[in-house]
Chains A and B, each alone.
Chain A
């Protein structure tokens, strides 16, 4: 069966510090991968998605970036965090663009 992992579960970082969140999927190959952010009191926002290694599409301009160095690994990064980057970050995968997405447990990020 397929599983999706995210780490860390919780992260507190100072403003201006770098960020690296990791997401890995097991039990499938060539998944579509997604990064979402849920800010406090707001809905989910799609940040990035990837249909293959090295292929990243950005949905919104921001100081975050994503990379997919391996088929089942998706990384969300920032060189300098902003206060507004605080939120709940979710990674998801699906076998194809229109199919049900499966979400990871999420990373709660607090930027102080």
Chain B
């Protein structure tokens, strides 16, 4: 069993749709990260959360520590949002989900 589970594994959306990606974890954490990996492989760190909610442009990340769950939302999705989104948690070490592959169709 993985310490970090993401859903869905694959997601296809029409441009403009509201998107939610979920992350559940089973270990005690000090922080949770949302990462974005582009098709070429490069990774960008989107958010680091330890509680509550953060917003950056069209991206919103929330975390519920009691439920050990985080969500990444994308409002008004755009084809350039197409990427793999990875949830990672910091416990005694880093644990990573296997990612959610998002494709936004024009």
Contacts and interface: CB of A to CB of B under 8 A. Distances in A.
**Are A and B bound to each other?**
yes
Contacts of B39: none
DSSP majority for the B interface?
strand
Contact of B41 (A43, A88, A97): A88
A30 interface: no
A97 B50 CA distance: 13
Instruction: Bin the interface of chain A by size.
Output: 20 to 34
Interface residues of B, number: 22
A105 B40 CA distance: 9
Interface in B9-52: 30-31, 33, 35, 41-45, 48, 50
Given A43-B86, A44-B88, A98-B31, A103 B42 contact: yes
Contact of B96 (A43, A99, A103): A43
Contacts of B45: 100-103
B98 interface: yes
A56 interface: no
Given A59-B93, A98-B30, A98-B31, A42 B41 contact: no
B44 A103 contact: yes
A31 interface: no
Interface string A84-112: 00001010100001111111011010000
A109 to B, nearest CB: 12
B48 A43 contact: no
Given A43-B97, A98-B31, 5 more contacts: A44-B94, A98-B48, A103-B45, A105-B41, A105-B42
